[in-house]
Structure 1
Amino acid sequence: MGNEYNPYYIRIRTTLGIALQAIREELVAALGPGAPAYRTVAKWVERFREGRKDVNDDVISNNPHSTYDNIVAETFLCHCIVERIIRDHLKLRKVTSRWVPHQLTAEQKEE
């Protein structure tokens, strides 16, 4: 099971009323060292118990007009980590209050 499926598994187990600790233990048994951290599982469980239905965690795709503060509030990450992820890993920058790739392709430039 890849990491992209973890939120689906956590959502199903949470919906069934399985305890956080049991969900984490199942993930560790199935994935070993590749299992998500306890805190990551706890955050997803908390979100699903609060009524969240969506398993995607991509704030920028859902709202390209989001600010750093919105992203920090939704992801529970510190500002510097959010900035580093956006700049170094996603290779995005803010242009006219919308996140766009640093290097635009010819098709993107035409848009």
Structure 2
Amino acid sequence: MEKIEHRAVIKFLTKQGKSVQTIFQELLAVYADFAPGKTMVYKWHDLFKQGRESIEDELRSGRPIEATTPEIVEKVEKLVLEDARLKKKQLAAMVGVSESSILNILHHHLGMTKVSARWVPRILTPLQKRERVECSHQFLELCGERKEEVMARIFTGDVTWVHHYEPESKQESMQWHKKGTPPKKFKVSQSAGKIMATIFWDTEGILLIIKNVVRL
């Protein structure tokens, strides 16, 4: 009855002329953890806009359940959001469909790709982003009309830790990632030793590299 209840609410709000995003947010506000998934809301919103009146499932006349039904897509999405490192083989076993169906759902229905969290740039807070923009504007104002001349006289540096071996391989760090949502970087185990590398460079290239060995 829960699905029927959700569909009835979607039908009512759709007939009121509310957008699908507004309907999805209102369902989340009321049902919280028991709210229907976005895929299901979008599907039924479209059906009701096209003139459908029934909120019941269509009779299938013995036709087998498709591996890409909204319910299965919703289940895969929930599992991946809970653990982005699940492999397609694990997802297939948990959902009860083939690995090829899992890939189809992830890529074509959920718009997800697998990326290495270790290669994701540092995530800045909104305040840090704003401060960097303000500093950049101030610097450009100081340069005035002599931007190229000033840039040629600037050198900068950075510091990084270089481990004696990679604590986590690229393959081990892979996780499912939806466009627009940066993946989380998991904590990795430390290696037996590491080097602190300090590098200075200008517009012409690297000026100096300082390496300090640290034993753990």
Bin the TM-score by the shorter chain.
0.5 to 0.7
Q: 1:12 and 2:12 equivalent?
A: yes
Change (3 A) 1:20 1:48: same
**1:5-84 maps to which residues of 2 (within 5 A)?**
5-60=5-60, 64=61, 66-68=62-64, 72=66, 77=69
Change (3 A) 1:76 1:12: farther
SS at match of 2:53: coil
Unaligned runs of 5+ in 1: 85-111
Q: Which structure: greater strand fraction?
A: 2
Deviation at 1:10, TM superposition (A): 0.3
Deviation at 1:58, TM superposition (A): 4.7
Report runs of 4+ in structure 1 exceeding 4 Å deviation.
none
Cα distance between partner residues in 2 of 1:7 and 1:76? 19
1:8-56: CA deviations, max 9, x gaps? Answer: 0100111111000110111000010110001110000011111111001
Cα distance between partner residues in 2 of 1:33 and 1:59? 29
> TM-score of the superposition, structure 2-length normalised?
0.30
Give the number of equivalent residue pairs: 74
Higher relative contact order (CA 8 A, sep 6+): 1
> TM-score of the superposition, structure 1-length normalised?
0.54
Q: Which of the pair has more CA radius of gyration?
A: 2
Q: Which structure: greater helix fraction?
A: 1
Unaligned runs of 5+ in 2: 74-95, 97-216
